[in-house]
Structure 1
Amino acid sequence: MLKEVMAYLMACNLGTVIRNSVGMVMAGHRRPVRFGTPGQADITVELHGDPRAVHVECKAQGGKLSDKQVAWLEDQRRRGNVCIVAFSVQDVYQGLTDAGFKVPMPSLRGAA
């Protein structure tokens, strides 16, 4: 579903769509290198002409946010950003329209 959400956000043309990654890799002689911020949303949209950002956390049906994800999203909301927890592309559409964005309805193929 993440690919479908990214494609939908790009089609909305609200700004630059970024796929965020959080994790760790072993570099060199088994030295851990961490990247990203724990709890960070899967996708960020840096809006054109707007200081806010849109953050989308994609979850499989029945998926739940971790405590770090809840804290990160709450912090972003306090900063005035739009945060959406999405189980489908339709959830992204609803979150954007609820936040006042005029965006196209997703196609049925990308809505599941």
Structure 2
Amino acid sequence: MSNTPESKVLRACLKFLEDMGFYAWRNGVGAIQIRPGQFYRFGKPGSSDILGVLPGGKVLAVECKADKGRLSDIQKEFLKAVESLGGVVVVARSTKDIEKILCERGYLKTGILNFGE
């Protein structure tokens, strides 16, 4: 994983979810060249950086962004689809964004920690 501001947010969010005992993983989307002019594509375009399953079976979709990062239209569509089907979505610029949503939804107790960035 690179060392961009967005990748730092992603690593911090994955660690936060792991430390809190949630079942979540890095969701890769992209393509690799397998021979000249031929690519193998993987993942669903627009799907979130982190996916997981919350207690009770709800899907968690976390899109990690740097401070000034913006969602693409396809990312917005993915998050809207997950939310419309009852999933929990977060656009995370820090772990505090995940903590806030999970507290609001009753998956964490408010103020249980002041998690570092």
* Alignment-derived partner of residue 38 in structure 1: 45
Q: Whole-Å Cα distance in 1 between the matches of residues 29 and 101 of structure 2?
A: 24
Q: Whole-Å Cα distance in 1 between the matches of residues 33 and 51 of structure 2?
A: 26
- Asked if residue 51 in structure 1 is aligned to residue 51 in structure 2, the reply is no
- Asked if residue 81 in structure 1 is aligned to residue 87 in structure 2, the reply is yes
The runs of 5 or more residues in structure 1 that have no matched partner are: none
- Which of these residues, 50, 67, 70, is aligned with residue 64 of structure 1? 70
Contact 1:56 1:85 in 2 (8 A): yes
Question: How many residue pairs were aligned?
Answer: 107
TM-score after normalising by structure 1: 0.87
Pick closer, same or farther for the CA change 1:75–1:98 going to 2, 3 Å: same
Can you list the C-alpha shifts for 1:29-88, whole angstroms capped at 9, x where unaligned?
Answer: 54211001111000011234x221111100000111000000000000011000000111
* Alignment-derived partner of residue 13 in structure 1: 21
Describe the SS at the equivalent of 1:83. strand
Deviating above 6 A after TM superposition, structure 1's stretches of 4 or more consecutive aligned residues are: none
Describe the SS at the equivalent of 2:24. strand
* Alignment-derived partner of residue 94 in structure 1: 100
Q: Whole-Å Cα distance in 2 between the matches of residues 47 and 85 of structure 1?
A: 17
The runs of 5 or more residues in structure 2 that have no matched partner are: 1-8
Q: Whole-Å Cα distance in 2 between the matches of residues 102 and 60 of structure 1?
A: 24
Contact 1:44 1:53 in 2 (8 A): yes
Q: Identity over aligned residues, as a percent?
A: 31
Q: Partner amino acid for 1:9?
A: L
Q: Whole-Å Cα distance in 1 between the matches of residues 77 and 51 of structure 2?
A: 16
TM-score after normalising by structure 2: 0.84
